[in-house]
Amino acid sequence: PRDCLKDGQNVDSDLVAVLERTPTYYAARIAEDKLMSTLNKEFMSKIDSITEKVKNEKNTTDLIITELREKVQNMEESLSESNAREQSLQNEVASKEQEVLQVRSDLEEERLERIAVEKHMKKSMKRMEDDLKE
């Protein structure tokens, strides 16, 4: 009843005091307190439930992030190893190509020497034939 009064209202304070002592007033106050208590419990329960869900989702997200980081790290290591193998193979190919070029060069040199020897032999044989004819 007191909280129902508006500012500046002219009401006998004794009447208000008497009304506040009635069983209906007490019952209303008790019901209001119980309702507020129940609402607070439900509200806190919902907050706790939401907080628990958020914690679970955060834990799940953290776990996923950790697993993804591990996978990324493994992929980076694998890529690094693959790049190293590729570089090694490229070096080996370059080395083999160099060897092939050297063998070709050696073969060409031998061919030219053989041609020179054949020419020299032909000239020598020609001279010998000419010498024999004379």
**pLDDT tens string 71-91:** 999 999 999 999 999 999 999
Q: Which pTM value belongs to this model?
A: 0.48
Residue 42 near residue 24, CB atoms below 8 Å? no
What number of other Cβ atoms are within 10 A of residue 16's Cβ?
Answer: 13
pLDDT reported for residue 12:
55
pLDDT (mean) for 108-123: 95
* Distance separating alpha carbons of residues 71 and 74, to the nearest angstrom: 5
pLDDT (mean) for 122-132: 88
pLDDT reported for residue 1:
46
Residue 4 has pLDDT above 70, yes or no: no
pLDDT (mean) for 110-115: 96
* Distance separating alpha carbons of residues 87 and 78, to the nearest angstrom: 14
pLDDT reported for residue 75:
97
Q: What is the pLDDT of residues 16-70, one digit of tens each?
A: 655 666 767 677 778 888 888 888 999 999 999 999 999 999 999 999 999 999 9
CA dihedral 23→27→33→35, nearest 10 degrees, is: -170
